[in-house]
Structure 1
Amino acid sequence: MKLKNTLGLAIGTIVAATSFGALAQGQGAVEIEGFAKKEQFDSARNFKNNGNLFGGSVGYFLTDDVELRLGYDEVHNVRSDDSRKIKGANLARDALSHFNCPGDMLRPYVSAGFSDQSIARWSGGRNRHLANVGTGGKLYFTENFYARAGVEAQYNIDQGDTEWAPKRGMGVNFGGGSKKVEAAPVEAAPAVCSDSDNDGVCDNVDKCPNTPANVTVDANGCPAVAEVVRVQLDVKFDFDKSVVKPNSYRDIKNLADFMKQYPQTTTTVEGHTDSVGPDAYNQKLSERRANAVKQVLVNQYGVGANRVSSVGYGETRPVADNATDAGRAVNRRVEAEVEAQAK
């Protein structure tokens, strides 16, 4: 019956995932998981066989990478050397540190924490205080649904023995704090010199008395004669990654310096992918890439967040042939362009 309940929990998480919508992973996210593990008991326990443990956990992401998790599982199908049935339960409090970025398909992790375990026979029982360490990986099929595989070791603080268990689970992730894409501010139209007395000359005669009427002027009423200057950005990414590579920082800094030189400029950072993978996944990946470059501009180089927008186009705008490795490498990119008028 308990096995059926556990399977029901796992199936329930799949159904629940369809109702949470496309909510992002990362800081503030909650993960709910059903899992099973095979406990390799220490010989000092005098158990005839190893145990099947089934349970569930709930976790909360303090940051994009650090998760606090509370887990509970029960012992099944274990007997002592004298064939008596073994019962037990385990309550664990662990912290997980994840690698890669929120939204990446694969997120390896390491974990550490403590647990309290109660193992009983037909009557009586013993409480054990354990220190836990583990490692593994989570494979995200969608933004909200993942499978996990790993291994855990438990050190008995009271008696000094160690046990370990391979573990696998399925869960849902929802409620993360992704940042919304900011719309580019609307710039005011250029000033046009007025001619209220119809004499063919700009009304503002203080600085440029010979300025013709109905031309674009600067703050002094003088003709805004300027040349267009432009800077472009093209950042490349590794396959299925949204992490900005160190060799791209110089180009991003050049863009930031240009925008600081011309404080009225704004830009839209555009993310792209190659054609490998589902369309929906590539759309999300392109958005993460664009946002990653935006964060470097804003957080590292001090460009105002209201001056940088980010948008993802998925695989819809290739600039090279996706049938080749070289072409796909070119298409895994983020682009931006800033244009200003300089006298």
Structure 2
Amino acid sequence: MKLNAIAKAALLSLLPASSLLAQEAPQYGAWVAGFGEYYKVDNDKPNSLDSFEDASGLGAELGFRFTPEWGARLEWSRLNFDSESGLNDRDGERFGIDALHYFDKKQTYLFAGFKHQNLGENYRLVNFGLGRHWDLSQDWKLVTEAAAYYDFGQNFTDFGVKLGLAYTFGGNSSGSNSGANPAAQAVAEVDSDGDGVGDSQDRCANTPSTDRVDAFGCTLFDEKTVFSALDMLFAHDSYKIANPQSQQVKNFADFMQQYTDTRVTIEGHTSLVGTEAYNQTLSERRAKAVKRLLVEQYGIEADRIQTVGYGESRPLDSADNDAAHKANRRIHAQVSTTKKVKLER
């Protein structure tokens, strides 16, 4: 227990003063991890006996997470360095301390700290890198990291990557607070907005209690595709719109006004009566008439609407009768977009 208290005190010295105010009751526990490491040696790294090649090794770390954003750790590793000649291979130790800053909900973090490396010669290194704890279960995490190690005194930079397994403990479970003051427990468990996440961890205040939320009390969303379609029929040999105030036209225009980032192509078609060239021109006029209606009467921006005429090339019904001809004298348009929709409990 005494060693644990000393380690925590040393790690706290790396954290910003503003975060120390919240350290009386750490809520994100601690972890202990073992890892394997591949270590890339700078060609300029000095060695009195020989030049180093790359190294590999094993190590362990003890870490503490004091707030959702800040943590720290002690690290030790033992590395085996190969020499270029093969005659002066070295085993060496590295130990040091790091501060960790978590910047997303998936436990990705930046870290920086100081390391001492002993390979017969001593190297004092400043390191920084990127890592992540991947959830395997409630208590076990997969650890991945990449880091750079810079020696200011001898001006070289090594690089390393780690893969490890961490066991987490000391979180906000009922057992971990068994010795705490009951009044302090009651304060820690207050949930002002009733979303199921205590105020001490809630990053989104006043979330409706009906919303489904993440671990930090923020509403979860899903993406949903919404669309609107416009189909209009025309009289024989005409591009006049019979009912420009129809509910279908209003609904289509309302959709485009609500989702201002949408664009649409209006397709014009004709029946199989008449020449192909004439029907091509007629289909283009029908499409342009609908565009003019949407722009002039409903206020849709002209550059959001394209028109195309297909003439008689895409009939809905190829029969040679009045019903088929009527169905083919038409325009068609469809517009769609995605929107965020709240997930509810």
The TM-score with structure 1 as length reference comes to: 0.46
Query: What TM-score does the superposition give when structure 2 sets the normalisation length?
Result: 0.46
Look at both structures and tell me which one has the larger radius of gyration over its CA atoms: 2
